[in-house]
Amino acid sequence: MRIVQIGTGGWGKNHTRILSQLGVLVAVCDTDSKKSEEYGEKYSVNHHETLDSLLSSEDFDGAFIVTPTSTHAKIAEKLLEVKKHVFVEKPMTYKSEEGEKLVRIAEKNNVILTCGYIERFNPAVDVVKKMVKEKKFGDLVMLEFHRENRMPLHIKDVGIIYDTSVHDIDTANWLFDDMPHVVFARAGKIKHEYEDFASIMLGYNDDRVAIISSNWITPKKLRKFNAVCTDAIISSDFITQETIVEKDDETQTLQNEKQEPLLLEIQSFLDAIEGKNKQVVKAQEAVNVTKIAEAALLSSQKGIPIYLDLK
């Protein structure tokens, strides 16, 4: 298998390391020539400064796009049009219409299009997903997410909802195995150009609810969620990957075997290309997350709930 990577910045350097370890990386591309050269040389693969140069000289099966959100749609379109399997970092596109277009091209060309909703591959989420699916502690009724950290200063094109809350939106859809039909949000900005704090409420069937709280203001990195079930509250930490189950006065702590979610996510895309696995995030699910993020921004601007009818 031959894989290329576009974008080798703060997050992309992790993909480069893993793809090289897995022995599938053949070329990198970054418009910043220092970066493309640095990673090309570090991992002994070809390097390019433009997508056109990469497309005209490399032979490959799939590509990772790890560039800023506003650039995803154009790069993905070019790759899908030449029938490459594509993994795009989250959120898949800035606008949901751009995402819908990518879905159509991927379907037409019969290639895989997926998006980096990495928390599905986090053992802390996986263990809760299994408990919910087996109804180990009854029915899942409510989800509460907290994701707080000072803003990563290099993110210049989107606010916290598109950059950060989208992880929890996708995790909520995944754990409920459903799409919300109503979104209500309040967001504001204290220090940044775009919104830097947000509270989002997602309403699902049967009155089930997810509440997502994100901020780029407070200094401590915190990423946790609670799954309120009819017989217990399950609390999980995305960072430590520890899960606690509270039932009456009985508290059980589960320390999952710590694993790197990015490695599991990348492996699952490579397996999908080889036809071994169909568990990748579906492109339409990623488009839906963008639609929910758009609805959250609109709800916050207008002060009203936004009703959705998602596929």
Ligand X SMILES: NC(=O)c1ccc[n+]([C@@H]2O[C@H](COP(=O)([O-])OP(=O)(O)OC[C@H]3O[C@@H](n4cnc5c(N)ncnc54)[C@H](O)[C@@H]3O)[C@@H](O)[C@H]2O)c1
Taking CB under 6 A as the rule, does residue 280 contact ligand X? Answer: no
The closest alpha carbon to 6, from 59, 82, 62, belongs to 62
Q: Does 9 bind ligand X (CB under 6 A)?
A: yes
Q: How far is the CB of 262 from ligand X (least distance, A)?
A: 7
Is residue 176 within 8 A of residue 110, CB to CB? The reply is no
Shortest distance in whole angstroms from residue 20 CB to ligand X:
17
Total number of residues that touch ligand X (CB under 6 A): 25
Applying CB under 6 A, among 3, 4, 5, 8 the residue interacting with ligand X is: 8
Identify whether the C-beta of residue 17 lies closer than 8 Å to the C-beta of residue 42. no
- DSSP β-bridge partners for residue 246: 233, 251
Hey, how many other C-beta atoms are within 10 angstroms of the C-beta on 43? 19
C-alpha distance from residue 258 to each of 132, 227, 239, 246 (Å): 21, 20, 10, 21
Q: Shortest distance, CB of residue 4 to ligand X, whole angstroms? A: 11
**What is the distance between the alpha carbons of residues 11 and 263, in angstroms, rounded to a whole number?**
13
What would the x/- binding string for ligand X be over residues 113 to 132, using CB under 6 A?
Answer: ---x-x--------------
Q: Which class for 246: exposed (0-12), middle (13-18), buried (19 or more C-beta within 10 A)?
A: middle
In angstroms, give the least distance from the CB of 239 to ligand X: 12
Q: Return all residues near 126 (Cβ < 8 A) that are at least 6 apart.
A: 120, 256
The structure tokens listed for 192 are: 């940044």
Stretch that binds ligand X, among 68-76, 143-151, 279-287, 295-303 (CB under 6 A): 68-76
Contact between 66 and ligand X by CB under 6 A: the answer reads: yes
- Among residues 42, 46, 53, 71, the one that binds ligand X under rule CB under 6 A: 71
Instruction: Compute the CA torsion angle 131, 135, 137, 143 (nearest 10 deg).
Output: 70
Tell me if 67 contacts ligand X by CB under 6 A.
yes
Nearer to ligand X, 29 or 185 (CB): 29
Nearest approach, Cβ of 177 to ligand X (angstroms)?
Answer: 21
Of residues 24 and 266, the one with the C-beta less far from ligand X: 266
- Nearer to ligand X (CB atom), residue 103 or residue 245: 103
Is residue 76 a contact residue for ligand X (CB under 6 A)? no
Which residue of 19, 29, 45, 73 would you call a contact of ligand X, by CB under 6 A?
A: 29
Give the pairing of strands 197-203 and 182-188: antiparallel
Q: How far apart are CA 216 and CA 148, in angstroms?
A: 6
Pick the closer one to ligand X by CB: 31 or 109.
31
- Which structure tokens are listed for 36? 């493309």
Least CB distance to ligand X at residue 69 (A): 5
- What is the nearest approach in angstroms of ligand X to the Cβ of residue 234? 22
Q: For residues 153-192, which are near ligand X according to CB under 6 A?
A: 154, 163
Cβ atoms of 199 and 187 within 8 Å: the answer is yes
Point out which residues bind ligand X (CB under 6 A): 6-12, 29-32, 35, 51, 66-69, 71, 75, 89-90, 116, 118, 154, 163
